[in-house]
Amino acid sequence: MEDASNEFPLKRIAAITTVRNDTIFLEKWVRYYGQQFGVKNLYVFIDGHDQPLPEWLSDVNTLVLPHIPMKRAKADARRAQVMSHLARGLFKYFDAVIVTDVDEFLIVDPNVGVTLAQYLSQSEAKVTSSGLGMDVGQHLEQETALDLKRPFLDQRQFAHLSARYTKPVVAFRPVTWGSGMHRIKGRNFHIDPNLFLFHFGMVDYELATGKTADQDRLETGWKNHLSRREALFKIIAEAEPLAGDAYFAEARQRQSRRRPLYALNKPGMIRGNPVVKIPERFRGIV
């Protein structure tokens, strides 16, 4: 794609996330999306008045909500409702709204040669766009513990192509997200050919598995969910990784064709748990 950034006026784009008990991702989330859209266009919901607010968060729009524990499924549904309502209001001021978990980063393929803001401003999508889900995990036999001072993608080479993270996180008009923002209620999904959603929740074994001991999560039914996510380390360690560029287009097609019958507006999982080697051009971005 030619750099047509001068031909398209930039859309006004907001990004939203929620956070509780985070020590890893929020600062990186603010830095990344702030560079893309400006920190004044970021909205962070803090789950609980017991959460310390770092000084560097002062330029970001924050709203501290009371922490009301709920079981995981109900909490996910409540969060999706809150994000949907907030985004609906923001559309009075913005042309597009991105809603992600704090460990999710929407990245436009560097080969395109434009910024994320420029790319979304040129998008012809009418309702939503999804990035191809890249569930990044530590290869326990080849990669060392994470250095939090260095970019994640300088230290991790492998990702599971997971439909769970091919999420419609970009909305161009008011929508209603389902639990976990995995689908748009009453709408189909569109996997953009140049967008990737990198999920870093399992980017480091010690840091990720430590979440299982988080008392908040244990008391609200997260143990089994976290155990399923931790299976990523085994998937990556046992896989014969594919070259990402040789497989991305096929992965998008398979996720679009093989949809679950119980949720036809969600992408389908690909059999065999394909793992790709992340192309070098993504290094240093996050």
Pairing of strands 13-19, 42-47: parallel
> How far apart are the C-alpha atoms of 134 and 169, rounded to whole Å?
14
What one-letter code names the amino acid at 180?
G
Helix, strand, coil shares, percent, the chain, to 5: 35, 20, 40
Residue 1's pLDDT band (cuts 50, 70, 90) = very low
Residue 226: predicted pLDDT:
56
Q: What is the pLDDT of residues 173-210, one digit of tens each?
A: 999 999 889 999 989 999 999 999 999 999 999 988 86
Residue 210: predicted pLDDT:
67
Half-sphere exposure of 131 (CA within 13 A, CB side): 24
Half-sphere exposure of 145 (CA within 13 A, CB side): 4
Q: Which stretch of 43-52, 67-76, 162-171, 232-241 has the lowest confidence by average pLDDT?
A: 67-76
What one-letter code names the amino acid at 2?
E
Q: Is 200 within 8 Å of 25 (Cβ atoms)?
A: yes
Work out the average pLDDT over 244-257.
95
Half-sphere exposure of 248 (CA within 13 A, CB side): 19
> How far apart are the C-alpha atoms of 6 and 113, rounded to whole Å?
13
Is the pLDDT confidence value at 222 over 60?
Answer: no
> How far apart are the C-alpha atoms of 278 and 66, rounded to whole Å?
39
Residue 5: predicted pLDDT:
46
pTM of this structure: 0.91
Is the pLDDT confidence value at 167 over 50?
Answer: yes
Q: Which two tokens stand for residue 200?
A: 């870093």
282 three-class SS = helix
Instruction: Name which residue leads in pLDDT, 218 or 254.
Output: 254
Q: What is the pLDDT of residues 32-72, one digit of tens each?
A: 999 999 999 999 999 999 999 999 999 999 999 999 888 88
